[in-house]
Chain A
Amino acid sequence: MDIASITASQVIFFILAAVILAGSVMTVVSRKLLHAAVYLLFVLLATAGIYFLLNYHFLAAVQISVYIGGILVLLVFSIYLTSQVGEKMDEPGIVKKTVTMLISMGGAVFCFWVLCTGQFPYADQIHLNEIDMHAIGQSLLGTERYQYLLPFEAISVLLLACIIGGILIATGNTKKED
């Protein structure tokens, strides 16, 4: 790639990608749960940044409100409820560390190589202009091809089942089980 031909959006993309990469590694490596959650925050934010860069404004908004506003806050709550602040997880042994690192690095390099040499013949079919809300709503609730009513309903059932399951776990009994 020619240095002179790099556009501003490419620079932004590389910065975001670097943040995502570094953040993900730190999330996994960090020994403190709360720190890991904060690194995860950066990963999710930078992902939203990539969506903005691609003009997927709706998706970016969903990413921020659901993942950062909802899931991450829940995660932090559950960390506070279940562990002491500043508590460190145990350090794994050196053998485990080396083996894990070798395997995961090997896998990552292999995938990277396949992705770099791979061809993406259908890449030009993807729209890069902003999609308006009207079209999104239409395709969420339509039954034709490229419309997604059935998955949408499947998600509703999944949510219902998970809520019932959550209540099932949380509910108590006056007679204690042993």
Chain B
Amino acid sequence: MVDVAIIGAGQTKYGNHASGLKGMWAEAAKNAFESVDQNFHPNRIDEAFIGSVAFGGSQLGNTAALLTEHSAMKGISVRRVENACASSGFALRDAWMAIKSGQADVVVAGGIEKMNDLTPERKRFWLGVSGDTEWERLAGLTFPGTYALMARRYFHEFDSTHDDLVNISVKNHMHGLHNEFAHLRKDVSFDKAKNGFMVADPLTLYDCCPTSDGASCVVLAADHVVREFTDDPLWLLSSGAASDNLALHDRPSITQLMATQKAAKTAYSMAGLNPDDIDLAEVHDCFTIAELLATEDLGFAARGEGGKFARQGLGRRNEGDVCINPSGGLKSKGHPLGATGTGQAVEVFKQLKGTVESSRLVRDAEIGMTHNVGGSGATCAVHIFGRERNA
């Protein structure tokens, strides 16, 4: 069976981007190509998987063909991958599978989203299209509301309060402060985060990720060609993915994401690892409650202990056993919907290769994880990366 490595990774800054779609994607791709250590030319790419929810509706059809023709990949097999906010996490998985199958040697996986050139109304539409439109959206729910329901229920079932979510927000802003690609680079005090504008009770502005433009791109290679490009690859040790009921009300519990648990179980098993082995994890904190649930669902905290984990700061960089969201997470780094999954992979690539800003390096990290969720948990992709080929 073929082993798969990440040989290059790059992204744009997340935020309000001056460039349009083609410009953002070309920038991310160029950064990824240039990050490969040696001998790389785009003509080596066999397939491309590009994740996007659909950047405001301006290019719903043939998105991938448009973007790849502007980034030196014209003529190859390409496609848009869509699983809401997990689009590029699944693009990454599909790229991995393409190489594992033996059908491709070098594959690009990436994602892109542009939202900040839309009117507020159009933006709200696109931000709310990934829930159950008929039964959730028409009951007043966009994702702040959906996750607010989950948060309130969690506080009711377990020993946790909004203060635990505030701790997550403060941590992630602290982590993102020195990330040159982050959308929101500012420290936020506990009091400020606690008393922010109420978006969906009990979630305030500081519990919600921003709406960001951005693009990200990773280059994967099969083991038998890796040494052409680098002597120091990062190995993609495993991939796990799963789905669940789209609507909250169809799930047996709204305080855990079964799709995350299933995807993580597969990823851990395939890599022969368990949660204690993970040094850093980029998890899907679209809302602070999402990170709290993820720490439990990924096995970093026991069921019901996610609040305590956050309270004790166990995910803070170089303080606990695992650093959660060293990039600043979606909360600080930003969340360009379709680009987030491979953006997480870019962070893990740079952290494990030691090329991030020294002020935010996770020391001695050997194993990293990405966790990318679609919507409120209907889809999830989990990937584990390691410095060694066989962890």
A-B complex is real = no
Chain A residues proximal to chain B, CB less than 8 Å: none
